[in-house]
Amino acid sequence: MSERRHEISLLVNGIPHKLEVPGRRLLSDALRHDLGLTGTHVGCEHGVCGACTVLVGGVPMRACLLLAVSMDGESITTVEGLAAPDGTLSPVQQAFRDCHGLQCGFCTPGFLTTITAGLQDTPAPSQEQAREMIGGNLCRCTGYQNIVASVLRAAELTAERTAEHTAERTAAGELG
């Protein structure tokens, strides 16, 4: 007997998708295998390592612990959705590049999504807050020092870009 499939709609990185998935399909598998978005990595499949972290409505969640059917109608951002449409790296991506925040890169997508959300809540983190922000993600390579430096650098870059954007809009007469 064939397995019953369910139709769901997902908005992934701003693009609408309709999928037919079995009830037991994990979100991580739906993203990787059904949509081809293999930037979401799967390590432990038990919610421990954080490699599979994506943003659901802006909130970081473990894609390996979510059933795709439970995501019907949700807006999801994967690591592929962090850069601007013209390819400009997001502040967090740029900071990882600047500060050598990765080695093998397996854990990196989960760190990038987690930190992107973390900086929304804590835009100017202390060293300790930066460590807390990444406390739920595991990296086997870097010893975390460069990742912490990347968090702090990403906060600076975000502030710089916001200031530039505000100055441009002011010059264009859009503000005040």
Among 54, 66, 102, 155, binds ligand FES (CB under 6 A): 102
Angle between helices 108-121 and 145-171 (to 10 degrees): 50
Assess 44 for contact with ligand FES (CB under 6 A): yes
Asked whether position 163 contacts ligand FES by CB under 6 A, the answer is no
Q: How many residues does the chain have?
A: 176
Report how many residues bind ligand FES under the rule CB under 6 A.
22
- Residue 65 Cα to chain centre, angstroms: 16
C-alpha–C-alpha distance, residues 41 and 83, integer Å: 17
67 binds ligand FES (CB under 6 A): no
Q: At its nearest, how many Å lie between ligand FES and the CB of residue 105? A: 5
The answer to the question of residue 152 lying near ligand FES (CB under 6 A) is no
Residue found under tokens 């969640």: 61
Tell me: does residue 76 bind ligand FES (CB under 6 A): no
Using rule CB under 6 A, residue 132 touches ligand FES: no
Is 14 a binder of ligand FES (CB under 6 A)?
A: no
Residue (49 or 155) nearer to ligand FES, CB: 49
Considering only CA atoms, give the Rg of the chain. 18
Count the neighbouring beta carbons within 10 Å of the beta carbon of residue 144: 17
